[in-house]
Structure 1
């Protein structure tokens, strides 16, 4: 276990269910203070990560060894050896690092605009298997305001005007990203952009049609899922809401959810995904 706050770790690290430990962290241990803003910890997947335990994502990984296992589980079930993951909103790299650890011969393209977070992202991803894009993916090349959140770096988002804790960041269009990403394939996509998902997917649509990733996972904090689903349907995808319980994940049609997955009708679906989700 890690050096500080041993009692929460003794409770949370043996947690027997695939989900739920994070809610305990948020409800009972969100106020914990750590002496350092940078610690190297061991994850439940057996690799080390450098995190900031005084913000939400780092605190989860420090205390439990993991963060949002649902996304990792789905990505791994839909993956095949040598797959390439496009991770938009990569943050400190937990999703990409888990993907690289669990999928043989895989590569990750990690997109993240926050300078302070990028330091940890670069430390956490192997340079020989990853490409880091230090900007926000959007519909244009340029510069925008970005509202940071010191307590939860994953809650940072693009905003119309600057304010307290807002910074200027660079944006990159999908055309530029795919021209410079040094890859001729994308097999899986994860997008977590705090309300900017629709703009990102619209910008990427022609490239998704051309490369046809096997599955596209996206968060929907802006409630744009119907419009996103309609766009992806036009290029051969079927969208499912992701329902989570302590012990299972279910993919459901036509039901509001927080996270969604669009599955290609033109790519073979790996056996673990077919068996787990009835596809």
Structure 2
């Protein structure tokens, strides 16, 4: 992805020079860590040990690699701001308000709860911020096999897509529906929500076609496949259990990203109306 000369977003809150934590992440945080460990096949023992023995916060200068990751994230976020401002104006006739991207290292807090590197990137609708431990880029490449700068850009675009869903009122509607549903039904709704975010990511990728290198879309599609629920459960040594899926299969994630990229249209991303995913 050619980002030289691209405007860097100012909507970045960098917390990475403050590392560690002053308090444990609590019981709910432990459950989140265990759940992520189950679905992603990641050994979370060191993280649970940190919960039992919280470490004090320390101020540490950013490494050259961390600075590079921060600049990359700010540039990618800047492209999403340009893209969604245009898409909202042209396809919806309304103004787009971008999210803030919080960069952290190790652990941080949000209105949606505590977070650490094991939870992966996430969007919190309560404060309209996306959260990213930039070390996840290394996890994505080295542990999950999703290599390339556009694979990393896809991660940011996906979280921004959740913000788009929040702007459109979709997140609130799904949250209400989940409250009245069984666990199986709630998981199925979450799958449709995540696949729509993948499709929106494809829409934004099409809009920055002029910045893409050969192979970038293949990198994004590969990343989508590597974080499919079925692939992650197999990687963890388990037989995939479709009723527990919360993000969709590898095939579904790649397919919906491709649909957004091929059409560039928000209306093509209505996963909730789709009879088959």
TM-score by length of 1: 0.28
Greater percentage in strand: 1
Bigger relative contact order, structure 1 or 2 (CA pairs below 8 A, ≥6 apart)? 2
Greater percentage in helix: 2
